[in-house]
Amino acid sequence: MKLVVIGFGQCGGRVADEFARINKRARFQRGIEITPGVFAVNTDVADLSGLQNIKSDYQHRILIGGRKTSGHGVGKINELGAEIAREDADKVVDAIRSTKRFFETDAFLLVAGAAGGTGSGAIPILTQHIKERYGDKPVYNLIILPFQHEEETEERTIYNSAVCLKSAYSVADAVLLIDNQRYVRKDFSLRSNMAKINELIAEPFYNLLCAGEEKKARHIGVKMLDAGDIIQTLVGWTVIGYGKSPLALIRLPFERARNFRKKSTETHKGIQAMDEALSELSLKCNPADAGRALYLLAAPAKEMNMDLVKELGDYLKDLASEAIIRNGDYPRERGVMDVTVILSELSDVAKVRDYYSESASFIHDVKRKQGEAESKLRVIDEAAKDIPSLL
């Protein structure tokens, strides 16, 4: 599957930068192009300058709202971010057109942080604009939710997140939710933590996108998971997970055949990888709420068998009993067995529900505080009415 990836704001730009990195890796290791066009859109010049893998020309790092922000961002005001995105939408579309073999791409992936200003304001506006322009291609949103400490210390964080999620869900074909808090490593430095989180967000997409673009016959699965399967799976609220189990790299020459223990171990390794993928889902949810699901098994061809595929399918069906499940195999990895899982068309997402209810309380509190402040100001103005002015 080929994607056009567009990152909005600081958070979205850095995640998009990771997609540019895994595309370079796919080209170098596998001779495959999975993200022909990767763009970063921002109102802040410094954020655009900090990227490493996205091309540095003005068509790939796009500054919007220069007149209103002077290149210094919107300061978490997502209404301003939305207004700027509406005014400069054509600038982004013109840049997208520059993508080589643009019409070979299968879908758009727009990325943003829910809590910021530029990203959370711009992503629903550009999603709507791109859908109107290119109605034949699905437009997916990858939205990164804030850290727990941001929710507790920055009042506007929850409000921005709720507004962003509601707006994005109403226009995008699917909204992939990523909870930053689930990726935190306590002993990492701040820079290392952020870099690792961005890497973990992009990594599950690597084999998923590569599988359908393979050209070498020996790496094409018996049941290939292609763009059509992914498009049919991604609907509404969506989460993604990824897990892997190491395998023995070398098979001894006198091991002519696998005994029952070896076969049992292979199945166990696959179940371990599936366990990790489900426990490390990008957002906590109940798999039973999924209406659609898919899993991709990637491993050396000799390590995959019908029993393993059946066990994985039964395992996922037990957890997501109401879901339509698609699956595929990808005989590519060496020395590792990994499983990518997507749960989509979720009927209930507790985190999103909490954002909506807390945001409603926040709006009520803001109106109350504004009313109190205005009444106090009127008292001051009343007290000052007999004082002369120098103006």
Predicted local confidence at residue 156, as pLDDT: 83
Q: How far is CA 318 from CA 110, 323, 382, in A?
A: 32, 10, 70
Strand partners, 109: 5, 140
Residue 69's pLDDT is 82
- Note the CATH number of domain 3-202: 3.40.50.1440
Q: Which residues of 66-85 are buried (b: 16+ CB within 10 A; e: fewer)?
A: eeebeeebbebbbebbbbbb
Residue for token digits 């080929």? 2
Cα separation, 372 vs 391, in Å, equals 28
Residue 212 in 3-state DSSP?
A: coil
- Which percentage of the chain shows pLDDT scores above 90? 48
pLDDT of residue 259: 54
How deeply is 261 buried, as exposed, middle or buried, from its count of CB atoms within 10 A (0-12, 13-18, 19+)?
Answer: exposed
The domain spans of the chain are 3-202, 218-344
Among the ranges given (200-214, 251-265, 310-324), the one the predictor scored with the smallest mean pLDDT: 251-265
pTM of the entire predicted model = 0.89
C-alpha to C-alpha distance for 47 and 81, rounded to whole angstroms: 15
Strands of the 236-246 sheet, one edge to the other: 61-63, 37-42, 3-8, 107-113, 139-145, 174-179, 236-246, 336-344, 292-298, 324-330
Does the domain formed by 218-344 have CATH 3.30.1330.20? yes
The average pLDDT across 165-185 equals: 90
What is the per-residue pLDDT for 366?
64
pLDDT in tens, 89-122: 999 999 988 888 888 899 999 999 998 889 999 9
Query: Would you call 260 exposed, middle or buried from its count of C-beta atoms within 10 A (0-12, 13-18, 19+)?
Result: exposed
Return the structure tokens found at 241: 């997970």
